[in-house]
Amino acid sequence: MKRRVVFVCERNSCRSQMAEALFREASKGQFEVASAGLNPAKEIDPNAILVMKEIGIDISSQRPKGTSEVNIVGSDVVVTVGLDMSTDSLVSAPYKIEWDIPDPTGAPIEVYRRTRDLIEARVNELVKQLSAEVRVKFRIRNLWLHYGERPALKNINLDIPANCIFAIIGPSGCGKSSLLRCLNRMNDLIPDAKVSGEVFLDGVNIYDKGIHPVELRRRVGMVFQKPNPFPMSIFDNVAYGPRIHGIKDKRLLSEIVEKALREAVLWDEVKDILHRPAFTLSGGQQQRLCIARALAVEPDVLLLDEPCSALDPASTLRIEELMLELKEHLTIVLVTHNMFQASRVADMTGFMLDGELIEVGSTSQIFENPRDERTDAFIRGRFG
């Protein structure tokens, strides 16, 4: 889904329309864009048309719209252009930006030109910023988690980019699994667990009231330390999620199961025994089955909580290869105790200690050149 950007200004003003056209041009269709005035003029300002034409953009067919005509409430970014009013009073969009650009209405044409250039510079900056943010999968802000009175996560702030493997390391009990569970609201299921702060997935706060945890968990799948196949056949394990989401057609189910098992690199080993109970598989196979089960509902994100700790080196290697293939089309957050594993597969690594996120960086930086002495001590195996 494309993110939506709306520019809002006062009545009579052409600034939001210039901004809309310039943004559309600069962002090359990456975003939806609209503009509105609080009290729109009937016709678009001829001087604005003129100065935009000078740079090759025709806005003569744009029509000034009122704020009720463009869907401001559902927008991801709201930019007010020289509006003497806080955006908070307009909407609760995730991003609110205020541009202090004065109204050129009635001024000589040079002032229009200056206004246009000013808006163009701001628009280019904004497009650059938003394009970088599109690649952020999870944006975690001021996240706290308490079990009863005890804090398990203390003010976590973290951006997890899309299509990468992000490793979380740290000693036992530091909060790695707790953090993972915050990303698909598995903590909702733990009595006593209390979350505060914000977790944005593709710009939407997953703790908002409108978010349905079951749909969220379809998008953000999870695989645990110990393989936990359901007490049913291999086929039914993988078909479980799609069935819950209403897919009944046998052929379609078979296709989905085969695709997921192929993605999890298990198909060749099980294609002839699909109706055998899942627990007859080896530990490594069971773990790949659990990954296939998570993949069958086509998630955007996979949360893996020490997925290899119960596996032998050969199975571990297969799962690591699998992760590297999967990150082409999804984002993986991996909790691991195995430093070698983190350094082999992760693009980025975060080090946690006692509920705090101590340091985040590229995996090579964290392992070769940690900035914090506590990270250094942990990497060198002095504790944990």
Ligand X SMILES: Nc1ncnc2c1ncn2[C@@H]1O[C@H](COP(=O)(O)OP(=O)(O)OP(=O)(O)O)[C@@H](O)[C@H]1O
Which residues are at the interface with ligand X (CB under 6 A)?
147, 152, 170, 172-178, 190
Whichever of 177 and 349 has its CB closer to Mg ion, that residue is 177
Q: Which does 152 bind (CB under 5 to 8 A by kind): Mg ion, ligand X, none?
A: ligand X
Give the rounded distance of the alpha carbon of 220 from its chain centre.
10
Tell me how many residues contact Mg ion (CB under 5 A). 1
Q: What is the 3-state secondary structure (H, E, C) of 1-18?
A: CCCEEEEEECCCCCHHHH
Please tell me whether residue 177 binds Mg ion under the rule CB under 5 A. Answer: yes
**Residue, CB closest to Mg ion:** 177
Q: Does 187 bind Mg ion (CB under 5 A)?
A: no
Q: How far is the CB of 356 from ligand X (least distance, A)?
A: 12
Q: Which is nearer to ligand X, 6 or 174 (CB)?
A: 174
Provide DSSP, 243-289: HHTT---HHHHHHHHHHHHHHTT-HHHHTT-TTSBGGGS-HHHHHHH
Q: How far is the CB of 18 from ligand X (least distance, A)?
A: 50
Q: Give the integer Cα–Cα distance in Å for 245 and 127.
A: 37
Query: Closest approach of Cβ 346 to ligand X, in Å?
Result: 16
> Could you tell me which of 230, 229, 143, 133 has the C-alpha nearest to residue 180?
143
Q: How far is the CB of 157 from ligand X (least distance, A)?
A: 18
Return the bridge partners of 333, or none.
166, 303
Spell out the residues 6+ positions from residue 46 whose beta carbon is closer than 8 angstroms to its own.
none
Residue 178 touching Mg ion (CB under 5 A) = no
Among Mg ion, ligand X, none, residue 375 binds (CB under 5-8 Å by kind): none
Among Mg ion, ligand X, none, partner that 66 touches (CB below 5 to 8 angstroms by kind):
none
Decide which of ligand X, Mg ion, none touches 68; Cβ closer than 5 to 8 Å per partner kind: none
Query: What is the side-by-side order of every strand in the sheet holding 165-169?
Result: 220-223, 301-305, 331-335, 165-169, 348-353, 356-362
Least distance in angstroms from the C-beta of 175 to Mg ion: 8
Q: Residues 28, 136, 163, 379: is their CA dihedral positive or negative? A: positive
Complex with ligand X: residue 147 or 240, whichever CB lies closer: 147
| Residue 190 binds which entry of ligand X, Mg ion, none, CB below 5-8 Å type-dependent | ligand X
Distance CA 316, CA 287 (A): 10
Give min distance, CB of 176 to Mg ion, in A. 5
Residue 109 vs 190, nearer CB to ligand X: 190
| Residue labelled with tokens 């206004």 | 115
Terminal-to-terminal C-alpha distance of the chain: 42
Please, which residue, 17 or 177, has the CB nearer to ligand X?
Answer: 177
Q: Which is nearer to ligand X, 147 or 230 (CB)?
A: 147
What does 241 bind: ligand X, Mg ion, none (CB cut-off 5 to 8 Å by kind)?
A: none
| Signed CA dihedral, 180, 184, 190, 192: sign only | positive
Which one, 261 or 352, has the nearer CB to ligand X?
Answer: 352
In the complex, least distance from residue 133 CB atom to ligand X, rounded to whole angstroms:
28
For 71, the 3-state DSSP assignment is: coil
In the complex, the smallest distance separating the C-beta of residue 153 from ligand X, rounded to whole angstroms, is 8
Question: CA-to-CA distance for 378 and 367, rounded, in angstroms?
Answer: 10
Phi-psi region of 5 (alpha: psi -120 to 50; beta: other; left: phi over 0): beta
| 116 vs 176 by CB, closer to ligand X | 176
Q: Which does 89 bind (CB under 5 to 8 A by kind): Mg ion, ligand X, none?
A: none
Query: Which residues are near Mg ion by CB under 5 A?
Result: 177
